[in-house]
Amino acid sequence: MKTMKAVCIYSYGGPEVLRYEEMPRPRPQAGEVLVRVHAAGINPVDWKIREGLLHDLLHHPFPLVLGWDVSGVVESLGPDTNRLRVGDEVYSKPDITRDGAYAEFIVIKESEVALKPASIDHVHSAALPLGGLTAWQALFETAGLVAGQRVLIHAAAGGVGNIAVQLAKWKGAHVIGTASAKNHDFLRKLGVDQPVDHEKERFEDVVAPVDVVLDTIGGDTQTRSFKVLKPGGFLVSIVTSPTTELATAHGVRAKFIFTQANAGQLAEIAGVVDSGNLKAYVETILPLSAAKRAQELSQRGHTCGKLVLLVN
């Protein structure tokens, strides 16, 4: 059987459980495609799964290949595929319950794969799927953000936040973003109308009422965010479920979302990229063999943009 280089885990734990080794190359089944991975994005969910924090939700078998942000080229097609062709340059947020993209090859359901943005390379394309889908589904599909509304985006310089800012501006919203002062120039570059230094000021004291809050932090930040919503506004969280009691008390709506794979939305996001309205920001590029270092950097936080593994 043909093999490939991959980074996997055989048990939950710290970065030391990551193993870079030879593994069997997967083969596509019905409705699936085999993608030669050129680049894989790093996300907090990667190390959260590695540590076992999502075990009750996902029940992964071992060994498990991590990584669910990928850009590459279609290598082969399984039966009953009818949309993609061998040689297509694609990107995807694959099903998080299956093996991921820290590998030279990955099998993905065709329904989860879209043609990558034509105007950018694989490294930058790999920085977009999970963050792009999360922002799209939170802001547009869930909260219904439209032109002229006001949105507060927490951790606006982060992997999801920076994409959310750009998509909100593309939609025509007024954007307020929280970040440390050292990232405020970056926020203005993204299009943030009002940067807020979360280290020196409480956002609820300086932000006028908003229609939508994108909560990427949870905890006390989420609780305080209800105070800045207009009556009928919407708080959408990508980290923890908001309490219905707080939402009811403030006369607003609130919902937690878990990002879903969606090729149609990825195609729309690619169009926004190619129209010049969305840019992928990559802070650090590392080789596949340095996945441990990449996850350590991700877990430390405070990145401005994305960490990406260069594979092929």
Model confidence pLDDT, tens digit, residues 201-236: 999 999 999 999 999 999 999 999 999 999 999 999
Question: With b meaning 16 or more CB within 10 Å and e meaning fewer, what string describes 120-139?
Answer: bebbbbbbbbbbbbbbbbbb
pLDDT score recorded for residue 205: 96
| Order of strands, sheet of 64-65, starting from the edge strand that comes earlier in the sequence | 19-24, 3-9, 64-65
Task: Give the residue-averaged pLDDT of 103-124.
Answer: 98
Read off the pLDDT band of 255 (50, 70, 90).
very high
Q: Is 167 left (phi over 0), alpha (psi -120 to 50) or beta?
A: alpha
Model confidence pLDDT, tens digit, residues 55-96: 887 888 899 999 999 999 999 999 999 999 999 999 999 999
Task: Give the residue-averaged pLDDT of 149-154.
Answer: 98
Whether the link from the prior residue into 129 is cis, omega within 30° of 0, is no
| Tokens found for residue 49 | 């799964």
> Residue 1: pLDDT above 80?
no
Residues 233 and 212 sit within 8 Å (Cβ to Cβ): yes
Model confidence pLDDT, tens digit, residues 168-189: 999 999 999 999 999 999 999 9
Cα separations in angstroms, 2 against 5, 19, 25, 29? 11, 19, 6, 16
pLDDT score recorded for residue 94: 96
Q: Kindly report the pTM of this predicted structure.
A: 0.95
Read off the pLDDT band of 122 (50, 70, 90).
very high
Model confidence pLDDT, tens digit, residues 126-135: 999 999 999 9
> Residue 303: pLDDT above 90?
no
Q: Does domain 3-128+280-310 have CATH number 3.90.180.10?
A: yes
Start-end of CATH 3.90.180.10 domains in the chain:
3-128+280-310, 131-256
**C-alpha atoms less than 13 angstroms from C-alpha of 2 in its C-beta half-sphere:** 6
Read off the pLDDT band of 191 (50, 70, 90).
very high
- Phi, psi of 85, deg, nearest 5: -130, 155
pLDDT score recorded for residue 286: 97
Question: Which residues, including other chains, have CB under 8 Å from residue 83's CB and lie 6 or more apart?
Answer: 110
pLDDT score recorded for residue 294: 94
Handedness of CA 197, 175, 183, 93 (dihedral sign): positive
> Residue 3: pLDDT above 80?
yes
Report the topology of domain 131-256: Quinone Oxidoreductase; Chain A, domain 1 (3.90.180)
Provide the 3-class DSSP secondary structure of residue 113: strand
Q: In whole numbers, what is the pLDDT of the chain averaged over residues?
A: 95
What distance in Å separates the CA atoms of residue 235 and residue 222, rounded to the nearest whole number? 9
pLDDT score recorded for residue 180: 93
| Tokens found for residue 295 | 């996850």
Read off the pLDDT band of 312 (50, 70, 90).
confident
